[in-house]
Amino acid sequence: MGNVIDGKGFADRLSEQLRVEVDALKANHNLTPCIAVVLVGDDPASHVYVTNKVKRCQQLGIESREHRLPVDTSAEALLALIDNLNHDAGVHGILVQLPLPKHLDENAVINTIVPEKDVDGFTLLNTGALAVGQSRLVPCTPLGSLMLLKDQLGDLSGLNAVVVGRSNIVGKPMASLLLQENCTVTIAHSRTRDLPAVCRQADILVAAVGRPRFIQGDWIKPGATVIDVGINRIEEEGRKRLVGDVDFASAIEVAGAITPVPGGVGPMTIACLMYNTVAAAKAAHGITD
Ligand code: GUN
């Protein structure tokens, strides 16, 4: 029986460290880290995510400015808002919640954010910097997943890592981070042949496919460390439930360690957003300690 990785506990400890650091920034540098969160439209899950992010900011003493915009917001209006936030010296981080309504070009919107304030790490510059090993602001979910892996395993050098999913938000940056840690990295996806056999090679298996309980216990190498990035809302026996991309019940029988859903990677994503916001604020003021 594998170990359940306590992502929530790790995220709480990281958040507490950040709270102490934010206090010190206020006291010693008169600096309050500030993030602007932009949400367009009325996707219920996005509203929940944004509310959770804002709450966590309050707990840590980080200032947050919410911009909840109607679904028919024009591209011009959204880009003008981002331009204002780019030029506002009191704002250190800008997050545009995805997905955006269909009439808006996500790439164009994201790439309007100046890289120094791109706390999601989604702009072309930050994406490219990560790909060539000069990482600056790194996407929050992969960063949080890597922190859990290093806490669990220590040095990751030479381990076989399989990332299932090739999204720009998780799969690709996760692969870059693991490569930087000297793992042998495979990115698997919907066209991969014999996915179970590929997964069985993994000492580290990262599941980021967005399909509930897709990865089965018998796809997992005995003793492997499994990071489940999935957050799938399903209805089962008349009850709404949150489940991951891994079939937890069968996986924990085989894995050495596995993140649960909820309480695994999810809390780390928010904690790393706070981490990136503090980092961006410090960088904007030339604070290096
Ligand atoms: N939507 C789902 N995940 C994310 C994320 O990490 N950042 C943003 N901005 N939107 C998301």
Question: What CATH number has the domain bearing residue 50?
Answer: 3.40.50.10860
Range of the domain at 37: 30-114
Residue identifier of the C-alpha nearest atom 4 of ligand 1? 98
**Does 247 lie in the same domain as 160?**
yes
- For residue 239, the SS3 value is strand
pLDDT given for residue 215 in this prediction: 98
Q: What residues contact 226, with CB distance under 8 A and at least 6 apart? A: 2, 205, 207, 215, 220, 246, 251, 255, 257, 258, 259
Positions in the chain whose pLDDT score sits under 70: none
Determine if ligand 1 sits within 6 Å of the CB of residue 120. yes
Catalytic residue (choose from 118, 120, 245, 247): 120
By the 8 A CB rule, do 88 and 95 touch?
A: no
pTM, 2 dp: 0.97
Indicate the angle between helix axes 44-60 and 7-29, nearest 10 degrees: 50
Is 74 among the domain residues?
yes
pLDDT given for residue 228 in this prediction: 98
Is 123 among the domain residues?
no
The count of domains in the chain is: 2
Q: Measured in angstroms, how far is the CA atom of residue 48 from the centroid of ligand 1?
A: 12
Is 228 among the domain residues?
yes
